[in-house]
Structures are given as structure tokens and as C-alpha cells.
Amino acid sequence: MSTTRTGDEIARELEAFYRHYIDVFNREDDSFYDCFANPYAVISGERGIMTIGNDNRDSFARTMKVLKEQGWQRSDIDRITAWALGADLGMIVSDVTRYKTDGSVMEKIRACYMLRRDREKWKIMTITEVKAPFLGPANIARS
């Protein structure tokens, strides 16, 4: 990968990737699985590091089942902030609102993602929720 891209160009690529990721998540499209490195990790204070390997379909199916049991219909992006950490490494902090089937707000979440470029495609390596009231990297006010 050429290092001729600027940090701003890489940040725009990361933002476009994240919009695609939320779109395929909402549609439960199989291309969702292509958004992840193999393996990737979910990191939390409660559980530590949970590594998800070769087939993340079971993990995604469990996540969707729980969300739908809670009345989830879709997730909308409120804010994306992205940083280039290198030519092939980036970070995203996003605010997302999850909506129920009746249109009411289910929850607002903030998540932090570490990504790497793999064969010209961005892939999520880690996902970490930033629990309220904490702001996470850059202390960005919540939307």
C-alpha cells in the first residue's frame, strides 16, 4: 500500500467504510462479514478480550437475535470521527442510535473501532463500547 494518501484522505476512507458497515448491518447483508479481520476482538471491561475467529456468522446471528428480542429495527449513525494512525491503520469513534420498530429510541451507543487495510479493503480488528458517561478518545462530546 502506498503511503501517499494523506491522513484526511484515509479518514474519509474510514468514514465511507463505516457508513457501508452500518448499512449492511441494518440490512443483515452477507457482505457484513467482509467488514472484519479474521480474527477480530470485542473488548470490554466486563469480559476482557473476546476473540472471534473464522466464522463470525454465529456471533452476528446471536447479536441480531438479542437486538430483535429488544425490539430493534435499525441503527443510525449520529457521528463518525476517524483518524489515520498509519497508511494501513486507522481508528473510528462513532455515536449510533438504535431504533425500535415503533420508531422510538432503543439506545444510544458510542463505540471505538481499530481497523487495518487488508488488500485495499478496510477491516475491523477490534470493537470496544465507550460506556456513558465516559467520552473515550479525544474527549468528543456525545451527540
Is the model's pLDDT at 136 over the cut of 80? yes
Is the model's pLDDT at 61 over the cut of 90? no
Mean pLDDT lowest among 9-13, 17-21, 88-92, 118-122: 118-122
Is the model's pLDDT at 90 over the cut of 70? yes
Mean pLDDT estimate for the chain: 92
Q: What is the model's pTM? A: 0.90
- CATH assignment of 7-132? 3.10.450.50
Residue 12 phi, psi (nearest 5) = -65, -40
The residues spanned by each domain of the chain are: 7-132
Is the model's pLDDT at 94 over the cut of 60? yes
Residue carrying C-alpha cell 462530546: 141
Q: Which long-range contacts (CB under 8 A, 24 or more apart) does 97-104 make?
A: 98/67, 98/72, 98/74, 99/72, 99/73, 99/74, 99/75, 100/70, 100/71, 100/72, 100/73, 101/71, 101/72, 101/73, 102/71, 103/73
pLDDT of residue 1: 46
